[in-house]
Amino acid sequence: MRKLLRTIFLIDLIEGLWVTFHYQHPKYRCTEQYPAERPKVAERYRGAPRLNTNPETGETLCIACNLCALACPEKLIVVSSERNEKTRRKELTTFTFDTSRCMFCGLCEDACPVDALELTQDFELASYSREGAIWDRQMLEEGPRPTKYKF
C-alpha cells in the first residue's frame, strides 16, 4: 500500500528532484569557470618558458652560454650568439624554444647560471599550428600572448 502511494504521488521523482536542486547552490559548485576565472596552479608547477630581462635596462639576462640547450634531454632549445668585438663578450642573437616537445622537467632552468631562463606558472600554451608552438626570443621575453576571449 505504501509503495503504491509513493508511486501515485511521484514521491521518488520529487525526492530525486530535491537532491538535484539542492546541489545547485553555489557552495556545492566544483567545476572551474575557466577562462572567466583562472584556476590556481600548484606552487611548483612548471609551465610557459620565459627569458628574463633586467627590469631597469630591459636587456636580456641571458649570457648565451648554451648550458640550457646542453641540459635539455629533448634538445629543443637553440641559442645563437655573436661576439661583441668591443667588449669581447658573447651576445645573444636568437633563442628558440619548441614548447610542443617540452616535458617541463625543469633541467634547463636548473642549468642556467644567471636565472635567465624560467618556467613560469602560465599554462596557456595552445597554438593553431606546430610552428606556433616554437617560441622565439621575443615571445620568450614578452611572455604568452593575452587571451583573445573576453567574458
Which residues of this protein are in contact with ligand SF4, per CB under 6 A? 62-68, 71-74, 76-77, 79, 102-108, 111-112, 114, 116-117
What's the closest the beta carbon of residue 145 comes to ligand SF4, in angstroms?
A: 20
Residue 96 CB, nearest distance to ligand SF4 (Å)?
11
Between 6 and 61, name the residue whose CB sits nearer to ligand SF4.
61
Q: How far is the CB of 51 from ligand SF4 (least distance, A)?
A: 6
List the grid coordinates of 79. Answer: 641559442
Largest CA distance in the chain: 100
Least CB distance from residue 73 to ligand SF4, whole Å? 6
Considering the complex, state which of residue 6 and residue 96 has its C-beta at the smaller distance from ligand SF4.
96
In terms of Cβ atoms closer than 10 Å to its own Cβ (0-12, 13-18, 19+), residue 135 is: buried
Strands (E), the chain: 49-51, 77-84, 89-98, 117-119, 134-135
Q: How far apart are CA 56 and CA 97, in angstroms?
A: 25
Nearer to ligand SF4 by Cβ, of 16 and 132: the residue is 132
